[in-house]
Amino acid sequence: MKKILFIMRTAPYGSAGIAEGVRSALGFATLPFELNIILMDEAVWAFLPNQQPEGIGGNPTWSLFETLTDIDVTLNADSEAINERGLAVQSDMPKFNILNSDEISALIGQADAVLTY
Amino acid sequence: MLVKQKMVGLTCLSGNFRGEDLMKFVFIVRAGPYAFQHLQTVCDLSSAALDKSHEVGIFLAEDSVVAMNGSCKTGSERNLTTSLQELIARGVQIEGCGACCQFRGQKRSDMAEGFRPAGIATLGKMVANADRVMTFGY
E-strand stretches of chain B: 24-29, 55-60, 93-97, 117-118, 132-136
Residue A65 lies in domain:
2-116
- Is residue A40 within 8 Å of B3, Cβ to Cβ? no
CATH code where residue A37 lies: 3.40.1260.10
Q: CA torsion angle for B130, B132, B136, B138 (degrees, to 10)?
A: 110
d(CA B59, CA B26): 7
- Residue A67's H or E segment, with its range, is helix A61-70
Contact at CB, B121 and A105, closer than 8 angstroms: no
- Is residue A17 within 8 Å of B138, Cβ to Cβ? yes
Contacts of A113 in chain B (CB under 8 A): 127, 130, 132-133
Cα of B103 to nearest chain A Cα, Å: 12
Contact at CB, A23 and B7, closer than 8 angstroms: no
Cα of B89 to nearest chain A Cα, Å: 27
Contact at CB, B135 and A115, closer than 8 angstroms: yes
pTM of this prediction?
0.84
Contact at CB, A7 and B3, closer than 8 angstroms: no
Tell whether A41 lies on the interface with B, counting CB pairs under 8 A: no
Apex A117 CA angle, A11 and B128, nearest 5: 155
pLDDT per residue rounded down to tens, chain B (138 residues): 444 444 444 434 434 444 568 999 999 999 999 999 999 999 999 999 999 999 999 999 999 999 999 999 999 999 999 999 999 999 999 999 999 999 999 999 999 999 999 999 999 999 999 999 999 987
Which one has a higher pLDDT value, A55 or B18?
A55
Decide if B40 is inside a domain. yes
Q: How many domains is chain A partitioned into structurally?
A: 1
- Is residue A76 within 8 Å of A36, Cβ to Cβ? yes
Closest by Cβ to A24, choosing from B120, B125, B130: B120
Decide if B128 is inside a domain. yes
Q: What is the pLDDT of residue B16?
A: 45
Instruction: Describe the crossing of helices B38-51 and B80-89 by its angle, rounded to 10 degrees.
Output: 20
Cα of B51 to nearest chain A Cα, Å: 24
Would you say residue A107 has pLDDT above 80? Answer: yes
CATH code where residue B89 lies: 3.40.1260.10
Residue B91 lies in domain:
23-136
Instruction: For B124, name the nearest residue in chain A, comparing CA atoms only.
Output: A28
ipTM of the assembly?
A: 0.81
d(CA B75, CA A52): 45
Decide if B46 is inside a domain. yes
Decide if B74 is inside a domain. yes
Cα of A87 to nearest chain B Cα, Å: 24
Contact at CB, B124 and A109, closer than 8 angstroms: no
Closest by Cβ to A31, choosing from B6, B61, B128: B128
Share of chain A above pLDDT 70, in %: 100
Residues 50-109 of A with CB under 8 A from B: 105, 108-109
- CB neighbour class for A41 (10 Å; exposed up to 12, middle 13-18, buried from 19): middle
d(CA B27, CA B39): 9
Give how far Cα A7 sits from Cα of A60, B16, B110, Å.
Answer: 19, 20, 33
Q: How many domains is chain B partitioned into structurally?
A: 1
Q: Name the residue type at position A36.
A: N
Cα of A117 to nearest chain B Cα, Å: 8
DSSP three-state, residue B22: coil
